[in-house]
Amino acid sequence: MSFNPTSSRKHYHLFEEEQIDHMYFDISPAGEIDANKYSLYNFTGDPKLEYAEWESRMDMMNSWFSDMKANERFLYERESINGSKVVSKIIDPVTKEIREMLNFASNDYLNLTQDPRILEKVTAIAPYYGAGAGGVPLLSGSMNIIKQLQEKIAEMKGMEEAIVYSSGYGANIGTISGLLGHRDVAIYDMFAHASLIDGSKGSNKKFFSHNDSASLEKVLKNIQNKYINKLVVVDGVYSMDGDICKLPEILDIAHYYGAWVLVDEAHATGVIGRTGKGTLEYFGLEGKVDIITGTLSKAVGSVGGYVAASSRLINYLKYTSRSYMFSTSPFIGSVVSSYEALNLISKQEAGMDKLWENIRYVKDRLLKAGFNIGNAETAIFPIIIGDDNKVKEMTYRLHQQNIFVNPVPYPAVPRKLTRVRMTITAGFSIEQLDYALNQIEKIGKELEII
Ligand code: PMP
């Protein structure tokens, strides 16, 4: 083995010495792995890591985090002491002081996590049922109030039946893995959410170019007759780009080639469609897709997930979807709050108009300032930068100005498309938006992003 570590490099022992080199990292003045030179991929996705023992893998990652912390650039896990509010009180990770920050990092698009009409119902009903469900849905965790929520979701989504899970992640992984086996294939939009992709670990998977029906057709043509069942999987609204799925054409092509279609409505429910019912309502395609999944954690303002489909499919999933079958029913507080939130959304009393006023305002100003916001058309705005260090720096400088946004570095998105992700909620006043947008513009110029 020939390796020759210099004083400015750190190396880590990898198990199979004969097969590959040691891993080297440049170190910073703080003596840790130089955070500016690496991305999360180097510690979570690099194939070389498979040859490292656990201790080495952990030490590499922790050394990288330590360098970020030493430079005050570690902005994950910023703790709120008052929940997800428009102005959230955040413990500064470095100084430990409480900062009152404008929250552009929440998916609580309609600010329903804090809605007094909902909280009143939760405090009245949840104590009656108690702090936990006490069992899985098929055994002792079945409850009338959960059934009511399921009926509400099915009605809203124009499907015969629905079941709820404790999370959207669980709903997606459980639906796809419950349906597809090793002779079946899931065909994903390449920007589909991780929870959908993770569902096909026990089946085959293919990808098509983002929102590109010609690319989907090519994939479907190539795999004709190769698999027993085919499922095309898309998000209604894409979580990192905020654009809407081109569902009409995707649906036509998928059905033409005999594939079923699953739409994840996580970021669409309560945001698009005339009455907030989501992507199907937006396109007038109610009842046309085969499976709808979603989460209760974004505009619905609570926690939990669901799948809605035909009764025979839902009945099948109850016994094949392992994250449903083997997981305790959700907390009743979240069941009540989700029910009330869906009620408010469908009665159009949840503030969707104000949300759209804010979305239009922000979009107009970001475009006028010259930012690249991709094809953003909903409450999610990517400020595309394509340079991880500038993404980190912009997030940090905005933090210093009490503006909470999230960095999205590689490998969460392709390197050329790394970004700051900003979400808009209904509760912002125009003055608050102006303050944030002025800062974003100023910092954008300083960092030569615009
Ligand atoms: N689907 C999409 C598109 C999402 O953005 C998310 C949330 N990150 C999920 C599913 C998972 O939902 P949950 O947070 O309820 O597990």
pLDDT digits (tens, 9 = 90+) for 246-287: 999 999 999 999 999 999 999 999 999 999 999 999 999 999
Question: Residue 239 Cα, ligand 1 centroid: separation in angstroms?
Answer: 8
**CA 151, CA 12: separation in Å to the nearest integer?**
55
pLDDT at 3: 43
Question: Which residues on adjacent β-strands are paired with residue 23?
Answer: 12
- 126 half-sphere exposure, CB direction, 13 A CA radius: 19
Q: Any residues with Cβ below 6 Å from ligand 1, and which? A: 167-169, 172, 193, 195, 235, 239, 264, 266-267, 295, 297, 305
Determine contact, residues 204/184, Cβ cutoff 8 Å.
Answer: yes
Low-confidence ranges of the chain (pLDDT < 50): 1-5
What is the pLDDT, as a whole number, of residue 167?
A: 98
pLDDT at res. 10: 85
Counting atoms of ligand 1 from 1, which one is nearest the CA of 297? Answer: 15
Predicted local confidence at residue 21, as pLDDT: 64
Residue nearest to ligand 1 atom 12, measured at CA? 168
Q: Which ligand 1 atom sits closest to the C-alpha of 237?
A: 3
Nearest to 418 by CA among 407, 429, 434: 407
| Gap between the Cα atoms of 324 and 71, Å rounded | 43
**Do strands 230-235 and 260-264 pair parallel, antiparallel, or not at all (unpaired)?**
parallel
Active site residue 267: yes
Catalytic residue among 267, 277, 390, 392: 267
pLDDT recorded at residue 72: 85
From CA 17, how far away is CA 14, in angstroms rounded?
A: 6
Given 298, 390, 392, 399, which residue is catalytic?
A: 298
In the block, residue with structure tokens 């009455």? 275
Find residue 99's DSSP bridge partners.
90
Nearest protein Cα to ligand 1, atom 14: 168
Cα gap 384→188, rounded to integer Å: 23
pTM reported for the whole predicted model: 0.95
Q: Is 205 a catalytic residue?
A: no
Q: How far is the CA of 307 from the centre of ligand 1 (A)?
A: 13
Best of 108, 193, 291, 337 for a ligand 1 pocket test (most atoms within 8 Å of beta carbon): 193
CB-based burial, 22-36: b 16+ in 10 Å, e otherwise: bbebebbeeebbbbe
Cβ–Cβ under 8 Å, residues 273 and 113: no
Report the pLDDT value the prediction gives residue 2, as an integer from 0 to 100. Answer: 41
